[in-house]
Amino acid sequence: MIIALLAAAAAQGQPQTLELPATLPIYCLDSKEEPQRVRGTTLGSLRGAFQRQFSFSAKLTKTGPRIGKLQFRGGDGNADTITYDVATHADGIALLIMRVRLIGVNETLICDDMCWKTLSFVTAD
């Protein structure tokens, strides 16, 4: 299903914002760069975690046939962002790279570090 949605967006020929089901599972790359399902985490729970903790809004933009950017934005003048490069995987979305740009924080995370940071946001409630 997700591949069909991205393929339809690719036919438009330019990056565009997509609305995907909140029930899509999230995958994260492990230390061997293999996607692993993040247990109990869906696109909806990830959006909800960033909304509760930071009042961030979410936007998923398709940038290629099976890839895109998932951006969470908020803060003063919408200057704070957490952006993931994402790709389709199985029945969900795989997080590939995480870029954190918050006041006093400017870091890029991959693999296990990205997975642990993401999981810490989702389970912080």
% helix, strand, coil for the chain, step of 5: 30, 45, 25
pLDDT per position in the chain (125 positions), as tens? Answer: 544 555 555 455 555 677 889 999 999 998 899 999 998 899 999 999 999 998 999 999 988 888 899 999 998 888 899 999 999 998 999 999 999 999 889 999 999 999 999 988 888 76
Q: Which of these, 8, 11, 18, lies nearest to 86 by C-alpha position? A: 18
pTM of the model: 0.84
Q: What angle do CA 95, 93, 99 make, to 5 degrees?
A: 25
What are the structural domain ranges in the chain? 2-122
How much is the pLDDT for 19?
81
CA 21 to chain centre: 13
How much is the pLDDT for 16?
66
How much is the pLDDT for 59?
92
